[in-house]
Amino acid sequence: MFVTEKLNTLSELIETRSFSEQLKNILQQQYVNLEATLLRAKVLREFSKLKVHYIIQSEIQAEQAGLAFLFAPFILANLNKTVIYNTPATEPVLNILNTYYQAEKKQNLKIDEVLTTLNIYLDLSLTELEESDFLYLSIIKALCRSDVSSIFIITNLKINSEKRDELEKFFKVSIRLISTQHQEKIIDSGELNIRKLLFKNKDADYIKLCEKFSEINAELLQYCDSYNTQQSIHLIEDMFYAEHIYEKLSVYAEYMQTCLQHQSSVFSPRL
């Protein structure tokens, strides 16, 4: 697919899965010259002052503890990290976010402007793709950004470690693999009491859920900073109790909802 041989490693990252024809068509539509875009980002990466953490998570299923990672961008933003979080817009995700803004609406926003303002951007994929295609597309989107310094891939698909190492060296980015925690079950997202999860007063069930979410996110936080496991868990737990995650989420939601309303008014027909 690519003239530059090293770039073909991209399509070999997921074992037994390569680019589908659907994905190739999407890439042709989205990029005038994908190869040039990837190589340009690679060259400019070492000059970028901004260091973006790009989190890619496979589809979150109902009652899956991997829902905890939805809060990762807000956790990292509280530590002054800049984060892009990319996941399919599944029902569990929308059950949480729609409490605060119309997350299912297509957003015509400039990502860089959102990052400059909030340090967070949630890229919710509305296109139905096979899991491998979604991951490949998201990884390519990340690598096309010269400010991305680390990529986190949250999936249970088998990743070729040798190819990952090659991509890390070639693109000069850190690529980390994290389990989706798919074997862990939690309360259904539709029944989740967000106030109990994100505010100080919690009953026994939400104390346990908070602990679980903190443990799940601790691994990711350790990769981003110099905390050990226990420090990471305690730091994240404190954020759940001190309402810091809620504050970041509510500010982000207010910003996005304002943008969506403006977008709607601009494109609505005038009488």
Structure tokens that stand for 179 in this block? 């389990």
Question: Does residue 187 fall inside a structural domain?
Answer: yes
The pLDDT tens digits for 222-246 are: 999 889 999 999 999 999 999 999 9
The pLDDT tens digits for 139-190 are: 999 999 999 999 999 999 999 999 999 999 999 999 999 988 767 889 999 9
Lowest-confidence segment of 27-31, 161-165, 264-268 by average pLDDT: 264-268
The pLDDT tens digits for 30-53 are: 999 999 999 999 999 999 999 999
Question: Does residue 213 fall inside a structural domain?
Answer: no
- Number of domains the chain contains: 1
Question: Does residue 208 fall inside a structural domain?
Answer: no
In angstroms, the CA 19 to CA 136 distance is 7
Question: Does residue 202 fall inside a structural domain?
Answer: no
**Taking Cα atoms as reference points, which of 256, 254, 227, 257 lies closest to residue 239?**
227
The pLDDT tens digits for 47-56 are: 999 999 999 9
Res 182: pLDDT: 67
Give the domain extent around 101.
5-192
In angstroms, the CA 120 to CA 71 distance is 11
In contact, 13 and 153? CB cutoff 8 Å: no
pTM for the model stands at 0.94
